[in-house]
């Protein structure tokens, strides 16, 4: 029985490590997407779009492993909760990859022009930095199951929310001079970053629930 339990624990640890790797993949994807958008870098944007398929495939692989473990081990109680939670975390992380792809597609659509007017470059750059920071911390939360850090992630999301509000405030100013189409693109861009951070918060909340059995 102890050997079986050890093998099962190794499988659970492997799932956790794979989720951390998936987190790293979406961090890289959003970082590249931000650079592509700010620098009007078509090649980099295309890389992000192509890499989203790799993120999807890796997430599907994790899902299949989890389902196979459930079918084979028939876990109960906390073990089943860990596996079901991992499924949901994988879904959140895959969606984060999709949002990075959306950012890259905006850069591609606007190329060779820059999608972001000069007066908003600093704000969008800050949103990219905030997205990377919050997701890196989420990866640590997955790896360590640190509940205090999980709660910090939600507080870190306040930074992204503030930047998002600042972006929208500029877009609705009467002196906005870049037209409706650009305003719509930037509204979507801000939403992509905000939702990216929201999914990172969701992952951290799931870890908190996994450890404590309570919702943050």
- The secondary structure of 98-110 as a DSSP string is HHHHHHHHHHHHH
Task: Please report the domains of the chain, with CATH numbers, ordered by start residue.
Answer: 2-212 (1.20.58.220)
Regions of the chain with pLDDT less than 50: none
What pLDDT is stored for residue 166 in this prediction?
Answer: 96
pTM of the model: 0.95
Radius of gyration of the chain (CA): 19
pLDDT of 4: 66
pLDDT score for 3: 58
Cα–Cα–Cα angle for 157, 154, 202, nearest 5°? 100
Place of tokens 């050890």: 6
């Amino acid at each position: 029985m102890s050997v079986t339990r050890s093998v099962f624990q190794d499988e659970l640890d492997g799932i956790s490590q794979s989720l951390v790797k998936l987190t790293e993949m979406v961090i890289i994807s959003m970082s590249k997407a931000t650079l592509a958008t700010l620098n009007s870098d078509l090649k980099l944007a295309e890389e992000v779009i192509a890499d989203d398929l790799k993120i999807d495939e890796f997430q599907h692989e994790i899902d299949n492993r989890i389902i196979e473990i459930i079918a084979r081990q028939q876990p109960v109680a906390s073990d089943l909760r860990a596996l079901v939670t991992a499924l949901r975390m994988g879904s959140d992380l895959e969606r984060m990859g999709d949002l990075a792809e959306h950012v890259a597609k905006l850069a591609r659509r606007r190329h060779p022009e820059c999608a972001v007017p000069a007066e908003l470059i600093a704000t969008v750059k800050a949103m990219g930095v905030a997205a990377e920071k919050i997701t890196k911390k989420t990866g640590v939360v997955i790896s360590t199951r640190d509940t205090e850090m999980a709660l910090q992630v939600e507080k870190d999301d306040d930074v992204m929310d503030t930047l998002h509000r600042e972006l929208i405030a500029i877009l609705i100013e009467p002196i906005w001079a870049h037209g409706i189409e650009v305003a719509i693109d930037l509204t979507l861009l801000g939403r992509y970053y905000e939702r990216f951070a929201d999914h990172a918060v969701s992952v951290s909340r799931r870890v908190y629930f996994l450890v404590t059995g309570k919702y943050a």
